[in-house]
Amino acid sequence: MTLSKIQAESMNLADTYDFTGTVSGAADLSSLNASNLTSGTLPDARFPSTLPALNGSALTNISSIGVGQTWSSVSRSANVTYTNNSGRAIAMRLAYHSGLSVLFFNGTDTGYWDYGISFIVPNGSSWKVNAITYAWELS
């Protein structure tokens, strides 16, 4: 059947039509954006039957805390400022068994602690305490 003019209200869009010739007056479809979709479905044929396998090849040089780091007992003294220049975040676990101690982080008094405290030290940050018995570092 040859159609010279198509009106949307007279077409059943569920049917299949074969057209030949030149289409004129069509909208520019070269810059479609999925965020402009408000409703509807896409046919399954538009999606690949298999998706590529996931792997960690893009996850290189990520320095998450704990990855490639181990806990070790370290010697730390009271009233000494320690700066993390390791290039990545570290974790500290401190113990003090004779009362209260104060943690200073980047020069700011963060408050009192007793018996034990754990904290993360970002690269370039500094810390000190006014009393300490034991220290462990995740680095």
Q: Which of 109, 134, 133, 104 is nearest to 121 (CA)?
A: 104
SS3 44: helix
Q: What is the pLDDT of residue 2?
A: 47
Q: What is the pLDDT of residue 29?
A: 59
By the 8 A CB rule, do 139 and 72 touch? yes
What are residue 26's phi and psi, to 5 degrees? -80, 150
Q: What is the pLDDT of residue 15?
A: 67
Q: What is the pLDDT of residue 53?
A: 75
What stretches in the chain show pLDDT beneath 70?
A: 1-38, 42, 56-63
Q: What is the pLDDT of residue 1?
A: 46
